[in-house]
Amino acid sequence: MALDQQFFDKHEKQEQARKRAGQLEGKHYTAFVEEVKALKRSGDLDAAAGLLMRLLDAAEREARVSGPDWPIAPWYFVQLAAIYRKQKSYAQESAVLRRYVLLHQDKKSGPSADMLEKLEKAQSLEVQAAIKAGL
């Protein structure tokens, strides 16, 4: 019985650490989805992008605490990349998608084909924009 209690206590501490790591302003990062959607609907893309950057950090903290194969939800990365695409900030879009891919390259599942395609498209747009700008 003592071993069962030790296992339970250890698991409970790990779970609490994971939840703390994934918090932003006292709430789990997943609790901000509707706020992100509302900011985007209202056209406040800069505020949505700022919030999403902070949510990405919280999601990454949670994944680090949870272990090497803990998945990081792509929704936050996709939303931020979409904002940057709409703003024609292709370098920032590429950076966000690259960040996701790099975070997943060592995981068992790896990055999804969809995310790799998004990154390839963003990088192509980034190069085209640089050429057009004469860089």
Secondary structure of residue 120 in the 3-state scheme: helix
What is the maximum alpha-carbon separation in the chain? Answer: 71
The half-sphere exposure of 78 on its side-chain side, counting CA atoms within 13 A, is 13
User: What DSSP element (H or E) covers 100?
Assistant: helix 90-104
| Nearest CA-CA partner of 104 in 96, 94, 93, 112 | 112
Bigger pLDDT: 84 or 5? Answer: 84
Fold (topology level) of 2-132: 1.25.40
Q: Mean pLDDT of all residues in the chain?
A: 89
Q: What is the torsion angle, in degrees rounded to the nearest 10, for the CA atoms of residue 100, residue 103, residue 54 and residue 89? A: -30
Q: Which residues are CB-neighbours of 45 under 8 A, at least 6 positions away?
A: 39, 83, 86, 87
Token digits of residue 18: 């994971």
Q: What is the pLDDT of residues 75-105, one digit of tens each?
A: 999 999 999 999 999 999 999 999 999 988 8
Higher pLDDT, 89 or 20: 89
Neighbours of 32 (CB within 10 A): 19
Give the pLDDT confidence of 39-49 residue by residue, as tens digits.
999 999 999 99
Residues in the chain: 135
Q: Whole-prediction pTM value?
A: 0.85
Q: How confident is the model at residue 71 (pLDDT cuts 50, 70, 90)?
A: confident
